[in-house]
A and B are shown apart, each in its own frame.
With several copies, the nearest count.
Chain A
Amino acid sequence: MTMKHSVCLLEAVNLALASEMRKDEDIVLLGEDIGVNGGVFRATANLRDEFGLKRVMDTPLAESMIAGLSIGMSTQGLKPIAEIQFMGFIFPALEHIICHAARMRNRTRGRLSCPLVIRAPFGGGIHAPEHHSESTEALLAHIPGLKVVIPSSPTRAYGLLLGAIRDPDPVIFLEPKRIYRSVHQEIEDNGEALPLGRCFTLREGKDITLVSWGAMITETLSAAELLSEQGIQCEVIDVASISPLDTETILASVRKTGRLVIIHEASKNLGLGAEIAATVAEKSLLDLQAPIARVAGYDTVMPYFRMENHFMPNTQDIIDSVNQTLEFV
């Protein structure tokens, strides 16, 4: 019998890590402050005590190094799960991620591969210092050979992280830190993974399709709830795996509703919303009864925290956009 745990998203990450590390000796964790300290957000709390120094490694401060080490380890059969302390510090690791992790299997025609997970908290809304609030997931989603996964609830964090760890290819697992602790859910630690590469339809509706991921799912669901009180039925899709993208689910929904609003926190220009909109415009143009709207962050630098709320879309913005899209004739 497995126990039920009432956990927040952050604890769900911890639960999934512990659960899988018990089953698979090849899993090792590495990153800055993940050991004794249990991570600056405590995502790896207690794991050093349970699994010891050899499986939970505090590294010196160097993200390029963390990625490079992970690549080396993964080719030899270990399953590294690296933490980048904040997504704003992932840039030094990009050369390794783009040139090696994403290419090893292809480059060696399958002789070597890089089954690894790189976890990083991302997104704004917690009044953190500069570079602690970015949403640059689109940069990673553009790279062939990577998978990029973003959970939006404790349940999906648990299931998707297990899916990411078991995946034979490199997965970037981005954790929306704004909702790290906001919601608790009952989770059974049953080791059941959720599939990567699939959207989750969180709410069915016939009037309009709302597509989002990560922390913005919260506002998207609130908007859908409020709109339902006005008789508007929104279909809410959590993209979850932003790469590879499950376009089928989105297209099917748009075929049904004829209207699409995409919501994301990242800057609008070349955010993932662009790809979703382009794909729909390419494959389902005739199904559209209104222009595709994107509710997104501005094309400017995420401001320091005193103004960060002005940058990020909120529930009202989504409602406004939905109303506008519905009014279009």
Chain B
Amino acid sequence: MTTHNILQYLDPEGTPTQTLPQWCSSPDWLLRCYHYMVLARQFDTKAIALQRTGQMGTYASLLGSEAIDVSVGLSMSSEDVLVPYYRNHACQIIRGMPIDEAFLYWGGDERGNASAAMQKDFPNAVPIATQSLHACGVATAMKVRNQKRATITLIGDGGTSKGDFMEALNIAGVWQLPVVFIINNNQWAISVPRKIQTAATQLADKAVAAGIPGMQVDGNDVIAMREAVDSALQRAYEGKGPTLIEAVSYRLSDHTTADDATRYRSNDELKEAWEREPIKRLRNFMVLSQFWDENKEQALLQEINQLIQQAADDYLTRGIQPVESMFDYLYAELPDHLIEQRDWAIVRAMKGGSHYQEGE
């Protein structure tokens, strides 16, 4: 068995546990990071509120994984490609997804994956672990074209048990692909705890099977996360191949709004996890470093509050897609046999039609 020492710079109280990287002495990156983490959390709160009031669908909260999402989002260059799983809204927003369209996706509307600002980033992927292989395909395209770019893909702890994930690590190793795999080990896959997923000591050990480097990082510590992601990206840019990063976090929320985590995990465990949460940790450190104070905090909260509120309003006033959109993106060109169905769908949706809905 291998054991990796977990990479950590800040303890849960935000106190450094070792010499910090040089860049920590300047507030720039840390402030941006904090900004997006707060944004992520407020997005989350709003999304849950929208869902609870029947204005959005089932939603996967990212509570507790803000440090992972934001550090990845900030470390990537716009030339890189993100292949997310379904819990990376913050990362997607940093990379350009309009906030209202992030809501739109969870509102059950394909346009949430459509923004041109997302460039070649992948859309949310519901079928677990498939994205790991897509990321390898993306990275292969970069490698074939001799580009100095990298692909980052995320996955949950549960997802690491599915064959696709291991197949992806393996091909990334053989072909030395410029790809970074990040496991958001939030300890739970819906109701299944980490220890029931695998007997591996660490999820980072999965890398050994593929002959690639793996490391475990404190996923509540943005400094550790940035260090890990930056160096993995660097390796990728330099043609040194893939890296696996296990980011240890905790799912502070229910699995989704359709879930009730009290059925299967203890309150104590949850309470304890809150002690380690990423936002407080960074805030404490920034206060300690005199980069931050209560006034700045209040101003930020208000700024972001407005941003989120505006995005939610935009989302809510967004009309439904025309019914024929069901057909118009299936193929580049509409095949003959769908013309009839498309026409029929339009007729059915019209006043007097079997599927007419008031107000659409």
Residues of A within 8 A of B (CB): 28, 32-33, 35-38, 40, 54-55, 57-65, 67-78, 80, 88-89, 91-92, 95-96, 99-100, 104-113, 127-132, 144-145, 147, 168-169, 197, 244-248, 269, 298-301, 303-311, 314, 316-317, 320
Q: In whole Å, how far is B196's beta carbon from the nearest beta carbon of chain A? A: 6
Q: B162: which of A73, A92, A304 is its contact (CB, 8 Å)?
A: A92
Please give me the residue from chain B that is nearest to A241 by CB atom. Answer: B335
Mark B138-175 against chain A: 1 for CB-CB distance below 8 A, else 0. Answer: 11111010000000000000110111100110110011
In the assembled complex, the Cα of A59 lies from the Cα of B177 at a distance in Å of 13
Q: Which of B116, B197, B325 contacts A111 (CB 8 A)?
A: B116
B113 contacts which of A54, A60, A111, A131 (Cβ < 8 Å)? A111
Interface assignment of B201: CB less than 8 Å from any CB of chain A:
no
Q: Is the CB of A112 within 8 A of B123?
A: yes
Given contacts A68-B137, A72-B135, A316-B354, 11 further A-B contacts (CB under 8 A): A40-B190, A59-B171, A60-B170, A69-B140, A92-B162, A95-B127, A96-B133, A110-B114, A129-B108, A131-B127, A305-B57
List residues of chain A with CB within 8 A of the CB of B264.
36-37
State which of B81, B110, B192 has its C-beta within 8 Å of the C-beta of A107: B110
Question: Is B337 in the interface zone, CB < 8 Å from A?
Answer: yes
Partner of A62, one of B57, B161, B323, B341: B161
Contact present for B134 and A307 (CB under 8 Å) = no
Q: Are A310 and B331 in contact (CB under 8 A)?
A: no
Contact between B134 and A100, CB atoms less than 8 A apart:
yes
Residue of B123, B139, B329, B354 touching A317 (CB-CB under 8 A): B354
B111 close to A61 (CB less than 8 A): no
6 contacts between A and B (CB under 8 A): A61-B162, A65-B133, A72-B136, A72-B140, A72-B141, A109-B111
Contact indicator A37/B130 (Cβ below 8 Å): no
Partner among A33, A64, A73, A247 whose Cβ is within 8 Å of the Cβ of B137: A73
Say yes or no: A113 contacts B332, CB within 8 Å: yes
A248 to B81, CA, bound (A): 43
Known: A76-B120, A106-B329. Contact between A298 and B57, CB under 8 A? no
List the interface of chain B (C-beta within 8 A of A): 57-58, 81, 83, 86, 107-111, 113-116, 118, 120, 122-123, 125-130, 132-142, 144, 158-159, 161-164, 167-168, 170-171, 174-175, 189-192, 196-198, 258-259, 263-264, 320-321, 323, 325-327, 329-333, 335-338, 341, 345, 348-349, 354-355, 357
In the complex the two chains form, is B338's CB within 8 Å of A62's CB?
A: no
**C-alpha spacing A301/B228, complex, angstroms:** 39
Provide the bound-state CA to CA distance between A305 and B58, in Å. 10
Q: Is A61 touching B171 in the complex (CB atoms < 8 A)?
A: no
- A60 & B198 in contact (Cβ 8 Å cutoff): yes
Q: Are A109 and B110 in contact (CB under 8 A)?
A: yes
Chain B nearest Cβ from A310, distance in angstroms? 5
Complex alpha-carbon distance, A99 and B163, angstroms: 16
- Beta-carbon nearest neighbor of A99 in chain B: B127
Known: A36-B263, A58-B191. A298 touches B128 (CB 8 A): no
Q: How far is the CA of A37 from the CA of B123 in the complex (A)?
A: 29
For the complex, what is the distance from the CA of A95 to the CA of B125, rounded to whole Å?
12
Residues of A within 8 A of B171 (CB): 59-60, 62, 65, 69
Check B192–A33 contact: CB distance below 8 A.
Answer: yes
